[in-house]
Amino acid sequence: MCGIVGSIGKINTRKYLIDGLYSLDYRGYDSAGLAFLDSSNELKIFKAVGKVEVLDSIAPKEFESSIGIGHTRWATHGAPNETNCHPHVSSHKEIAIVHNGVIENYRALKTRLMGYGYSFESETDTEVIANLLEFNYRKNHDVLDGIRRTIDELEGSFALAIIVKDQPDRLYFMKRSSPLFIGLGDEYKLLASDAVPMIKYTNKFVDLKDDEYGYISKEEVALFKGYDKLEPEITHQSPEFLNRDLGDNPNYMIKEIQETPQVITRLIDNYFDGEKFLFNPKMIEAIKKSDDIIFIACGTSYHASLMGVKYMQYLGKRSEAYVASEWAYFPVFTSKKPLYILLSQSGETADLIRCQKIINSRGSINIAITNTKGSTIERNATFSCLLFSGLEIAVASTKVFSAQVCLLALLTGAIEKHTNVVTHLSVVTSALEKIIENKQDIENIASKIENASMIFFIGRGNDYIASMEASLKMKEISYMHCEAFAGGELKHGPIALVDKDTCLIAFNSDMSTNLALRNNVKEIEARGAKSFVISYSSFMKDDDAFLVDNVKSYLSTIVMVFVSQYLAYYVTLHKGLNIDKPRNLAKSVTVE
């Protein structure tokens, strides 16, 4: 799971590659590297373990070059050291490549190539592609033929940018399963794993499809599939949704949390015209006709799915949610007319892509709810709903969680033709604005919990779902040990863990469970733990830690999770950790 960039033609190669890698480091940041041909067509390579900043500091500040490739890595095959860092070069130094994806049959290919005298320095699957390309190229010194043969032999996923040393006027590429886009400039052409690195240079793109390959040059794009030459299909992307400016914010997470109210308003504008909902009527019909609505997702998106289940059950539909990595290997088919809803911020999560392949192979209807236009899951779905949230760069998902729940609420409103959901969501945005005004109080709670040995998050009903997401957020960025429990379950085991170093955060947005939840809090306090209740103001108690304005109960999760995002943010800030790029994680997990 990595990010790749490449450029050819009249452009500042260094700037495009390095800036591009900065914008792709959400795809992994274990190491970074770049390669270019200099003015004498010598291949130059720079590699650095760690984030793009390190590469930026060791690469020459300027270089004369009109062809280059770059890579940011999330290690899969081999440790994150310099040898395993991309670009990788073939044994006879004729070919340099950067790769995003995983080659499943790399061991067999490696053994075969070693038999032909090829040597390997790294533990990566990528070096096998470099050598296989060179091996196939050498058969008749035709690069395109070599690439076509290589595509036929590879099993797995790949997006590749390829420099062939004796062809400095062409930058080659090939792609299967992993995303790859071409950007079109008048005197330059670009490659990247998504449109973001290229948007400053062009708004014209070619979104490559599986098994396509070819080359870009200063003037042209040559595209092939098998033996056929294809006409590139040009699409346009709006810079507005690809904006990476931090503004005055110290990091992306705080920027993205604070954008949530605008994101909700924008989502409403995109799906409601003031009188009626704007969802595809065929999609609404398909949901109504299905006898089982199955949500599948990972991480934060899975927690948003749990709200989707509640909404569908409220409509009287059978519905359930599965974690994608489980369903992919243990799918259940118990209904005659299932409809699947796949939630994914990135639209590129490998576990979910595997599920979608199974669903599509059975001819079942699936709806992709994603923030990423043109992503694999969006493209391969029967219907898709975009979240219009703008780029989410911090690894921990914040505004997109709210957008997902909000979209599911709007969809439910559209199915039952209840437009008042729009009014209810406007109340949510006001409640969120008020939380932003009072964020200092959340920072105070953060100061009181950040030295706990363990944090419990509890709630009942929707607040239990909020607890799960709150606990995940806190774990992801603060590395604190957190657990989420349904309030009533504490006494059935987990309470044994509680001691004076435990902190408890309780979400309390439901009048019907208010008393029961407060009893749960008392039980924990009696064992020496510190507790903090986040409550609806209408049934507050004097010692509650933070109050939020009441919103309709089916939307309370958005508000409670919003508070928890700030909480995780402040704890992490106080600990001095990297908020946007927590250890071991990546924004887009494109490996299983």
Residues that bind ligand G6P in the complex, under the rule CB under 6 A = 298-301, 344-346, 349, 352, 395-397, 585, 587-589
Specify the residue, 132 or 352, whose C-beta has the smaller distance to ligand G6P.
Answer: 352
3-class DSSP state of 274: coil
Tell me the closest approach of the beta carbon of residue 398 to ligand G6P, in angstroms.
Answer: 9
Residues annotated as catalytic (active site), given as ranges? 2, 587
Tell me the closest approach of the beta carbon of residue 342 to ligand G6P, in angstroms.
Answer: 9
User: 17: which 2 tokens?
Assistant: 């590659």
Tell me the closest approach of the beta carbon of residue 358 to ligand G6P, in angstroms.
Answer: 17
Specify the residue, 450 or 476, whose C-beta has the smaller distance to ligand G6P.
Answer: 476
Tell me the closest approach of the beta carbon of residue 585 to ligand G6P, in angstroms.
Answer: 5
CB atoms within 10 A of CB 87: 27
Q: How far is CA 157 from CA 101, 276, 353, 569, in A?
A: 5, 42, 12, 35
Specify the residue, 387 or 545, whose C-beta has the smaller distance to ligand G6P.
Answer: 387
Specify the residue, 167 or 588, whose C-beta has the smaller distance to ligand G6P.
Answer: 588
Task: Let me know how many helices (H) and strands (E) the chain has, helices first.
Answer: 18, 25
Tell me how far apart the alpha carbons of residues 202 and 426 are, in angstroms, rounded to a whole number. Answer: 36
Specify the residue, 167 or 301, whose C-beta has the smaller distance to ligand G6P.
Answer: 301
Q: Which residue has the tokens 């392949």?
A: 357
Tell me how far apart the alpha carbons of residues 202 and 465 are, in angstroms, rounded to a whole number. Answer: 42
Alpha helix positions (H), 259-366? 260-271, 281-289, 299-314, 324-327, 350-361
* Cβ burial, residue 454 (10 Å; 0-12/13-18/19+): middle
Residue 315's nearest CA partner among 404, 466, 418 is 418
Which single residue brings its beta carbon nearest to ligand G6P? 299
Tell me the closest approach of the beta carbon of residue 472 to ligand G6P, in angstroms.
Answer: 8
Q: How far is CA 371 from CA 272, 393, 450, 519, 530, in A?
A: 18, 12, 32, 40, 38
Specify the residue, 346 or 509, whose C-beta has the smaller distance to ligand G6P.
Answer: 346
Tell me the closest approach of the beta carbon of residue 305 to ligand G6P, in angstroms.
Answer: 10
Please give the distance of CA 528 from its chain centroid, rounded to a whole number: 39
**Furthest CA-CA distance within the chain:** 81
**For residues 17 and 44, is the Cβ–Cβ distance under 8 A?**
no
Specify the residue, 345 or 412, whose C-beta has the smaller distance to ligand G6P.
Answer: 345
Tell me the closest approach of the beta carbon of residue 407 to ligand G6P, in angstroms.
Answer: 13
Q: Which residue has the tokens 């998106």?
A: 301
